[in-house]
Amino acid sequence: MNVMEQFRLDGRVTIVTGAGMGLGRAMALALAQAGSHIVIADIRADEAQEAANEIRSCGVEAIVVQTDVTDEAQVEALIRQVEEQYGRLDVLVNNAGIVHKDRAEELPYETWNRVMNVNLNSVFLMSKAAGKVMIRQGKGSIINISSMSGLIVNTPQPQAAYNVSKAGVIMLTKSLASEWAPHGVRVNTIAPGYMKTKLTEPYFAAGGEMIDKWLAMTPMGRPGVPHELGGIAVYLASDASSFATGGVFTIDGGYTIW
């Protein structure tokens, strides 16, 4: 078998949540470059359409389905639309997420629930709906985007809700991998470290105590950039990772080794 051919995704169909910008957009583009058609599920339609236009330049189809991934009815409608339009669903990338930096004793319960809904509950809802299709097919790959924050406690910023939500994604990944392996459905998670995206770039540009500490605690001495998740996303989506399930793939510049 040609090793490089295992990474091809020609003709496959992938849903990426939150792909209108940042890490989701970069991973969607990488998957498209490997040959997959892309369905962008994002609550921000304008940014999602811009991403879809860029993705189409790779010679694949790209559609946008405006979706609130915390709403079960909208999630189920999304999956039905994809199955009706394409007749299959090969890959799901659960990327949508938010972060709030609040001291625990001051964190509003409403904010806690919002973080859990977007970061963890949506992963369950999307995986449940997509998993049913993949189980019927006897094959599929689910890639959850957790964080190194699900493995360690970040410092100096307080973000208990985010950390707990991402730890939950890791355990959900392992639980689903265990249940669905007999059906040919693989479930893995990517745990990124500090990444320089459109949203975080101003913080890195401004610098300061927090950024200095982040970089000092990262052996590689720099943040990651979105395209550096493209390779691992293609690997986990493709047949190249056919024996990988329940894995936590930490891409953090070495932050968690200390």
Question: What is the set of active-site residues?
Answer: 162
E strand segments, the chain? 13-17, 37-42, 62-66, 91-94, 140-145, 185-192, 248-251
Closest by Cα among 249, 258, 188, 254 to 224: 254
Which of helix, strand or coil describes residue 37? strand
Q: In what order do the strands lie in the sheet with 62-66?
A: 62-66, 37-42, 13-17, 91-94, 140-145, 185-192, 248-251
DSSP code at position 58: T
Q: For residues 76 and 80, give the distance between their C-alpha atoms in angstroms, rounded to a whole number.
A: 6
- For strands 13-17 and 37-42, give the pairing: parallel
Cβ neighbors of 21 (< 8 A, separation 6 or more) are: 44, 47, 51, 197, 198, 199
